[in-house]
Amino acid sequence: MRKKSLIPLLALAVSLGVHAGWNVVAPLEANDGKWALYMDDADVQKDGQRVRVSTLYDLPPTARLNVKDREVHSIRDRIELDCGKATYTSVGSTYIDGPMGKGDVVLALGPTAEEEIDTNGALAAIAKKACSAR
């Protein structure tokens, strides 16, 4: 009987878009606010030295962006890392009007050029975790 009582809760969680894969990788300080950088551990795709992973920046009220006359609360980014060369590229980014990647897309950007990963930056923490996965 207990299992049946969990079904409505699970259905509600799915309908609300609850995503259990986001884990904080790095707290960030900017504009007098605390950002959080998350990585989706369940979405790491490895192919040799190349790794693709989804990241999420959750912005505090003091650091929110205004894009197209709308407030952006979070940024989801799909990145590809070259673990051997310590470089990365963004495959695509979406700027979202709600926290934690929920809400409407305000702006979508395509791929970016390959860049070196700053050894002291937040992406270094992403690379360390993603490149050592699986």
Domain count, the chain: 1
In a domain, 95, yes or no: yes
For 44-92, what is each residue's pLDDT tens digit?
999 999 999 999 999 888 778 889 899 999 999 999 999 999 999 999 9
Task: Dihedral sign for Cα 132, 75, 77, 21, please.
Answer: positive
What is the C-alpha to C-alpha distance for residues 96 and 91, in angstroms, rounded to an integer? 17
In a domain, 108, yes or no: yes
- Three-state secondary-structure class, residue 48: coil
User: What is the widest separation between alpha-carbon atoms in the chain?
Assistant: 55
For 4-49, what is each residue's pLDDT tens digit?
443 333 333 333 334 447 888 876 665 455 778 899 988 899 999 9
Domain that holds residue 63: 20-131
CATH code at 98? 2.40.128.710
